[in-house]
Structure 1
Amino acid sequence: MWNFLWHLRGATPVPARISDAQVLERVEKLLADQRKPVIPSRPTELRFESPLWDSPLGPNWLAMVIYDRGSFRIEHGAHGRRLRYDLRSLHGFVFCLGAAIIFFAAGVMNARLPGGVRYAAFAFTWLYGMNMVLAWARVPRAIRKAVSAE
């Protein structure tokens, strides 16, 4: 129910001139560029798992840095082919929630309960919210660009 907070789901159309294998190659290259290790599964699907603690000092400017798990699959439908993706940022969510708890404790010690709530809300919104706003803008664009690249 609440998993929309740590999931990014979407789809992008696949151009007719590109085969399924080419689409998956392009997605695999995108994942390699984003430093996400690919786990092959089915012929029309790719997955990755990359816990945040695997490379805590890795590059944080990458579009998909916040996501720890994801899947990409090609669907054939009445309106053509689409690449569906489901990306998860649960580890980032939990990390930012933990940081918010620390800010809550500091706020309670300095400004009582209302101050603690304000500090925690600000910390969580800033840490997680800003990462997600950037990801919601950058990740779908990167996927579309990878799929439709000439």
Structure 2
Amino acid sequence: MALYDKGSFWIAQDGGSRILRYELRSWYVFVSCLAISSIILSFGIGDLVHGQFEGLSILGAALLFFGFMYGLNVAFAKVRVAAGIKRAVTEE
């Protein structure tokens, strides 16, 4: 959980049971994905300036890359954080 720079944990009541809820933020991963997507996008803008219309496909590739990488990070985080919390609670 070293990539996370901000977060909170709380216990919610749901009927007769308690549920551990959490919200974590990873600003560094977001900025990294955004920077790499911007680099991909800059190649597309260069193509548009030189009169080639392939830059629009580069824009799509940059958006797709950003969505895929950040979404993949969120998916992995859901599994890793839940396993880390369970491991921390069960170990003494």
TM-score, scaled to structure 2: 0.65
Could you list the runs of 5+ residues in structure 2 that have no partner in the other structure? 48-52
Could you list the runs of 5+ residues in structure 1 that have no partner in the other structure? 1-63
Report the equivalent of 1:124. Answer: 66
RMSD: 2.7
Report the equivalent of 2:30. Answer: 93
Moved runs in structure 1, 4+ residues, more than 3 A? 74-78
Report the equivalent of 2:50. Answer: none
Q: Which has the higher contact order (CA 8 A, sep 6+)?
A: 1
Q: Is the 8 A contact 1:66 1:131 kept in 2?
A: no
Q: Is the 8 A contact 1:108 1:115 kept in 2?
A: no
Q: Is the 8 A contact 1:93 1:128 kept in 2?
A: yes
- Sequence identity percentage: 37
Identify the match of residue 104 of structure 1 among 41, 46, 55: 41
Q: Identify, as 1 or 2, the structure richer in helix.
A: 2
Q: Is the 8 A contact 1:107 1:119 kept in 2?
A: no
Q: How many residues align?
A: 87
Q: Does 1:114 align with 2:56?
A: yes
The structure number with the bigger radius of gyration is: 2
* CA shift for structure 1 position 120: 0.5
